[in-house]
Amino acid sequence: MLLTKFDPFKQLREIEKNLYNQTKNEGVNAFVPIVNTREGEFAYHVDVDLPGVKKEDIKVDINKGVLTISGERKVKDEVKEEDYYKVETYFGKFSRSFTLPDNADIENIEASSDNGVLEVIIPKLKDDNTKKTITIK
C-alpha cells in the first residue's frame, strides 16, 4: 500500500505560483505586481514592479495604518506590417495593501516611480525611549 503525506498548503502554493508566473497574454486577471520589501536602519522600503504602468495611473493611500498601492495598467501593442495589422490590448486593475509598523512615520512617506518600478520609502520614527534607571525611595 502506498502512503502519501497530506500537504494542506500544496494547493495554496500552486495558486500563488500561478499568480506570479502569469504573462500579459493571459488577459485582465493576469496582473498582480511583484513586491519586494526591505527594512533599512532609518526606513522601510517597498518596491513594486509595475511594467507598462504610467505614474499618473498609480495611487498610494494610507488609511488606519494600512498602506495601499493601487492603479490600472493599460497597454496597447500595435504591429503594422505590409501584409497584416495586429492590435493587442492588455489592461487590468491592481491593488496591494501592507499594514504599517507602529514606528512608521506616516507624515513623511515618499513615493517615486522610475522605469516601471515604484519605490515607497516609509521613514521610521526616532526612538525617544532612552533607557533610564529609577531609584526606589
Could you report the per-residue pLDDT of 60-99, keeping only the tens digit for each? 999 998 999 999 888 778 888 888 888 887 778 889 999 9
| Entry pTM | 0.64
How far is residue 117's CA from residue 111's CA, in Å, rounded to a whole number? 10
pLDDT surpasses 70 at 24: no
- Per the DSSP assignment, residues forming a β-bridge with 67 are 62, 98
Q: Are 67 and 97 a contacting pair, CB within 8 Å?
A: yes
The predicted-structure confidence for 97-107, as pLDDT tens digits, reads as follows: 999 988 899 99
Q: How many other C-beta atoms lie within 10 A of the C-beta of residue 129?
A: 6
Q: How many other C-beta atoms lie within 10 A of the C-beta of residue 130?
A: 5
Q: Are 124 and 105 a contacting pair, CB within 8 Å?
A: yes
Please state whether beta strands 117-123 and 43-49 pair in parallel, antiparallel, or not at all (unpaired).
antiparallel
Q: Are 87 and 76 a contacting pair, CB within 8 Å?
A: yes
Give the pLDDT score at 127. Answer: 72
Most confident stretch, 24-28, 70-74, 107-111: 107-111
pLDDT surpasses 80 at 8: no
Q: Which domains does the chain have, with CATH numbers?
A: 8-123 (2.60.40.790)
